[in-house]
Chain A
C-alpha cells in the first residue's frame, strides 16, 4: 500500500464545483497531506522493507531500503506454519466477536445515557470512566484468578469478555456523545406513533449513527487484535494464542527473528486494512449530514 503513497495522491477528481481560484489552495492542501503521509507511513515502509531483508541486513550501516538479500522467505515461513496460521484465526475469531458484542452492549448503554434521566446516572458514568484508570498490569493477578475460577481460562470466551470490558467504556462514552448530537425529535417522533424505545433506537438512531459505529467498531477491533498481556496470561495452549503473542515468540532470549517479526505484523495489518477500506465509505462526507438535517 505504501507504493501508492506518492504522486497518485494528486489524482483526486477535479470536482467540477471547484472553481479555478481554489487551485492554489488545493496544491497546498495536497502538499500538506503528502507531508503528513511521510510522518505516518515512512516508518511503516521501513517495516515493510525490513520484512524482505535477511536478519543480518537489518542492522547494516548505511541503511538501505532494498538489500541484496531481498526475499519473501519470512512470509513463506509464516504462511506455511500451521501454528502461526492458527494464531491468525484465533485473532479473527476474538476480534470480530468482541467488535460485534461490544457494539451491541455499548449502543444499549449509550441509549440509556443519552435519552434517559435516572437515579445513579452520574455515579455510573464516573464508574464507567474510571474503571479504565487502573493499570492493567496490577489487575493481572486478581484477574487471572477470577478467570480460572469462572472456568474461562484458555478459552475464546475468556478473551472476548476481557476485551469487551476493556473496550466498553470507550464505546459507551463515544456512542453516548454521538447520540447526544442527534436531535431528540427524531426518536420522539417515532414514539408518538406508539413505538417503543427499541424501535426508535433500531430504526432511527442506528442507521444514522453508522460513522460513529464504524469508528467505535474499528477501535474495538484494533484493541482486541493487538492486545498482548492478557492474551498471553489468559491463554495457555498454542491453539488459543493470538497474533501479538506469535510476534513476541519471535523475540527470543538470545536473538530476534527481525524479518519474521516484521512480516508477521505486516500480514497482521492487511486484514484490518481491508476491513477499514470496506467500511471507510461511511466516512465519506455528506452521507450523514443529510440524514441529520431536521
Chain B
C-alpha cells in the first residue's frame, strides 16, 4: 500500500532545470503557484455542484431543526435545541436506532460476504469467458429494478399465500404458514433479507473491478514463496482490495441507514415498531405528524452520527500515508 499516497514534497520532486537565475526563479514561483492551485481547479465542478445543491439544503435543514413549526407555521420561532431534546426523549427513536443498526450492519456484512464470494467465483481462472459473462449478468439482475418494484415483488413472494411459503411448505421446511413481513419476530429479518438481495450486486461489481486491478505478478510471487490458495487470498487479494472494501463498506453503511422506500413499502415500519428505522421515523415526523422541525432535528442527528463514521474513515486514510 506504500505506493498509494505520497508526501507533498514528492509532487515537487521533478523540476525542470532552471535556464537562467532570474527568469528561473520567477518561472518557478509561478509554476509552484500554479501547481498549488491545480487541485482546486480539478475540484471546482464538484465543489460548485455540492455547495449549491447539497450544502445549501443541508444548511436549511439545520436551520429548520432550531425553529418551531417550520413550514406549517408562517412565523416559526427560534427554540434552540428543544426539538433535539424532544427527539432524544422519544423512546421510539432508540428503537429506530437499534433496528437501523441491526438492519445496516447485517446488510453490509452480508453484502460484502456475498459480493466478495460472487466476485471471486466470477474471477476464477477455471471458467471460460462465456460462463463468466452469463453468471455476471444473472448476478446483477437484482440491481436492475427500482426499489418500488423490489418491494412489491417481495411482498408478493413473502405473502402468507405466496410462492416462498408454498415452496417451503411443499418441501416440508416450514408449515408454509409463516407471515414473514407481518410477524414481529420475522419482519426485521425479512426486510433485511430483501435489502441484501437488492443491494449485493453493486458491492460485487466494485470488488470485481478491484480484482481486475491486482497485478498477476503478486500472485506469482506468492506462489513462488509456496503460498497456497487460501494464503494467497489472505495475503494478496484481501490487502489489495482493502481500500475498495473499506470505502464500499462505509458507503454501503451510509446508504443502508438511508434506506426508506424499501421498508416503507413493505412493512411501513411495522408490525408495531419492529422494523421502524431512522428513515421511517423521520418520514413519519415530517409527513404524517407534519412536524418538519422535529423531522429536521432527527435528520441532523443522523447526519452527526454519519460524520463520526466519516471521521474514522478519513483517519483510516491518513494512517495509510
- Residue positions of A touching B, CB distance < 8 A: 1-2, 4-5, 8-15, 18, 22, 25-26, 29-30, 32-33, 36-37, 39-41, 43-44, 46-47, 50, 58-59, 61-63, 104-106, 108-109, 111-118, 121-122, 124-139, 141-143, 146, 150, 161-162, 164-165, 168-170, 172-174, 177-178, 180-184, 188, 191-192, 194, 197, 211-212, 214-215, 218-219, 222, 225-229, 243-244, 247-248, 251, 256, 258, 261-262, 265, 268-269, 272-273, 276-277, 280, 283-289, 292-293
A105 x B46 contact (CB < 8 A): yes
Which of B17-25, B84-92, B311-319 has 4 or more CB atoms under 8 Å from chain A? Answer: B311-319
A137 to chain B, nearest CB (A): 5
Identity of the chain B residue whose Cβ is nearest the Cβ of A170 in the assembled complex? B251
| Contact (A126, B314) CB under 8 Å given A135-B260, A138-B61 | yes
Number of interface residues of B (CB under 8 A): 124
> Does A165 contact B53, Cβ atoms closer than 8 Å?
yes
- State whether A12 touches B146 (Cβ < 8 A): no
Shortest Cβ distance from B278 into A: residue: A135
Proximity string of chain B (125-137) to chain A, C-beta cutoff 8 Å, 1 when within and 0 when not: 1111111111111
Interface of A is mostly: helix
Stretch at the interface among B32-40, B73-81, B177-185: B32-40
**Quick one: which of A5, A111, A226, A292 contacts B213, CB cutoff 8 A?**
A292
A sample of 14 cross-chain residue pairs with beta-carbon separation below 8 angstroms, ordered by A number, consists of: A18-B126, A116-B11, A141-B292, A173-B247, A177-B243, A181-B4, A192-B14, A244-B146, A247-B148, A251-B152, A283-B209, A285-B125, A289-B215, A289-B216
Q: Within 8 Å of chain A (Cβ to Cβ): is B94? A: no
B40 / chain A contacts, CB cutoff of 8 Å: 112, 118
Select one of A43, A61, A115, A283 contacting B197, CB under 8 A.
Answer: A43
Closest 6 CB pairs of A and B: A133-B306, A12-B131, A12-B128, A13-B128, A117-B8, A112-B42
Which residues of B from 257 to 277 have beta carbons under 8 Å from A? 257-258, 260-261
Chain A residues with CB below 8 A from B168, complex form: none
Considering the chains assembled together, what is the distance between the CA atoms of A118 and B156 in angstroms?
A: 53
Q: For residue A287, which residues in chain B have a CB less than 8 angstroms away from its CB?
A: 212
Is the Cβ of B283 less than 8 Å from the Cβ of A137?
yes
Given contacts A11-B128, A135-B258, contact A129 B303 (CB under 8 A): no
**Bound form: Cα–Cα A168–B51 in Å:** 12
Which residues of B have CB within 8 Å of A229? 261
A113 vs B291: C-alpha distance when bound (angstroms) = 40
Contact partner of B147 (CB less than 8 A), chosen from A1, A135, A226, is A226
Whether B314 pairs with A265 at a CB distance below 8 angstroms is no
Identify whether the interface residues of B are mostly helix, strand, loop, or mixed.
helix
Q: How far is the CB of A114 from the nearest CB of chain B, in Å?
A: 8
Return the contact of B126 from the options A29, A130, A134 (Cβ within 8 A): A29
Residue contact A133 to B302, C-beta cutoff 8 Å: yes
A52 to chain B minimum Cβ distance, whole angstroms, is 14
B217 near A293 with CB under 8 A, answer: yes
Distance A115 CA – B56 CA, assembled complex (angstroms): 29
Quote the shortest CB–CB distance from A113 to chain B (angstroms): 8
Contact of A118 among B39, B134, B303 (CB under 8 A): B39
Q: Which of B117, B212, B215 has the most CB of A within 10 A?
A: B212
Given contacts A29-B121, A161-B49, contact A265 B145 (CB under 8 A): yes
